[in-house]
């Protein structure tokens, strides 16, 4: 039988609420695989929530912004380290500003690394062809493309966009100011933007 780690036993215990020994036995039977252990326990009729309980370590706030006229709206999650910072006026004002920014500036992604690779490759191909058709020398094209890609990020990524209420800084820079002010790590976790007819 496989030897299972104490941390795996503790994690399974936290998810299921079962005793240490029950968790250990279940994990030994599935070579330490937690998902499988839960499945096997459920098959035996052990009472466990069907889906994994959420990992509720993060603090933060959820805010929304509905643009006047009710034709577009944004939902935003901001995470921080303590509930105290989540409730400060500075944090709340930042979250509201960013929700309003998203409504206006329509970012498609949160960060640079979230940009859809296939979409980006297609954009690059189109830009490259266009430059070729314009008769630009091949040596120059790579340089121009690099600049173009940077510009694309600043158009579609929330963190790279110029902040709508002060275009001298990006949303990322504004976030860094808030982090400096509160002395706590804060991140924009996710957002949803709906618009009628889109």
CB atoms within 10 A of CB 55: 9
Could you tell me whether strands 72-80 and 187-195 are parallel, antiparallel, or unpaired per DSSP bridges? antiparallel
Q: Does 167 bind a copy of itself (CB under 8 A)?
A: no
Which residue among 143, 150, 176, 190 contacts a copy of itself (CB under 8 A)? 190
Q: Does 72 bind a copy of itself (CB under 8 A)?
A: yes
Tokens describing residue 129? 């062809």
Enter the tokens of residue 56: 């509720």
Site for a copy of itself in 114-133 (CB under 8 A): 122-123, 126, 129-130, 133
Closest CA to 40 of 19, 24, 26: 26
Least separation, in Å, of the C-beta of 3 and a copy of itself? Answer: 27
Q: Which residues 23-62 are close enough to bind a copy of itself by CB under 8 A?
A: 39, 42-45, 50, 54-62
**C-beta of 5 vs 64, nearer to a copy of itself:** 64
Q: Applying CB under 8 A, what is the total number of residues that bind a copy of itself?
A: 43
Provide the minimum distance between the beta carbon of 126 and a copy of itself in the complex, in angstroms, as a whole number. 5
**Minimum distance between the CB of residue 6 and a copy of itself, rounded to whole angstroms?**
23
Specify the pairing of strand 187-195 against strand 162-163.
unpaired
Distance of CA 70 to the CA centre of its chain: 25
Cα 177 from Cα 159, distance rounded (Å): 13
CB of 171 to a copy of itself, least distance (A): 18
H-only helix segments in 30-69: 34-43
Phi and psi (nearest 5°) for 129? -60, -40
The reply to whether 192 sits near a copy of itself by the rule CB under 8 A is yes
Contact residues: a copy of itself, CB under 8 A: 39, 42-45, 50, 54-66, 70-77, 79, 86, 122-123, 126, 129-130, 133-134, 190, 192, 194-198
């Amino acid at each position: 039988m496989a030897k299972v780690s104490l941390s795996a036993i503790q994690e399974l215990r936290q998810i299921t609420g079962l005793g240490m020994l029950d968790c250990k036995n279940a994990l030994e039977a599935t070579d330490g695989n937690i998902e499988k252990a839960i499945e096997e326990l459920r098959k035996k009729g052990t009472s466990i929530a069907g889906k994994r309980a959420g990992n509720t370590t993060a603090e933060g706030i959820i805010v929304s912004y509905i643009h006047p006229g009710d034709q577009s709206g944004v939902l935003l999650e901001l995470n921080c380290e303590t509930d105290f910072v989540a409730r400060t006026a500075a944090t709340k004002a930042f979250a509201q500003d960013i929700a309003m920014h998203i409504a206006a500036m329509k970012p498609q992604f949160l960060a640079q690394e979230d940009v859809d690779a296939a979409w980006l490759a297609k954009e690059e191909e189109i830009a490259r062809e266009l430059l070729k058709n314009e008769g630009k020398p091949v040596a120059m094209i790579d340089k121009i493309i690099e600049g173009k890609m940077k510009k694309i990020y600043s158009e579609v990524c929330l963190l790279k966009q110029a902040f709508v209420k002060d275009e001298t800084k990006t949303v990322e820079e504004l976030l860094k100011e808030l982090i400096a002010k509160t002395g706590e790590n804060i991140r924009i976790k996710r957002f949803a933007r709906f618009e009628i007819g889109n």
